[in-house]
Amino acid sequence: MVNYTILAREDENVPAFFEPILESENYIVYKNQLPLPFVRSASSAYSEESLAGAPGDPPGARHADGCGFEKSRNAGSATASA
């Protein structure tokens, strides 16, 4: 997710939906008018143990099904699904 970008004044490769908000002699700052959400809520949470032996999953697979997240055993980190 990118909210702002700075381009040289002569650079015409401005991303879609970015509008100029600040200018100097050599640069223009653009702001994204349609930013994507930073996070997405989930309806379920999965543990590695609950996914073990699931149909179609290889042994030891570490993923969620796209509507939740998996809690890792590594220092309490979590992996969000896309």
Is residue 32 domain-shared with residue 50, that is, in the same domain? Answer: no
Over 60: is that where the pLDDT of 17 sits? yes
Over 90: is that where the pLDDT of 65 sits? no
CA distance 72 to 39: 18
Enumerate the β-bridge partners of residue 79.
Answer: 70
Give the start-end residues of each E strand in the chain: 4-8, 18-23, 27-32, 44-47, 68-71, 78-80
> Amino acid identity, residue 17?
F
Query: How much is the pTM?
Result: 0.47
Is residue 50 domain-shared with residue 29, that is, in the same domain? Answer: no
**Looking at per-residue confidence, does 81 or 6 come out higher?**
6
Q: How many domains does the chain have?
A: 2
Over 80: is that where the pLDDT of 22 sits? yes
Q: Is 5 helix (H, G, I), strand (E, B) or coil?
A: strand
Domain with 25, as residue range(s), is 1-36
Is residue 3 domain-shared with residue 22, that is, in the same domain? Answer: yes
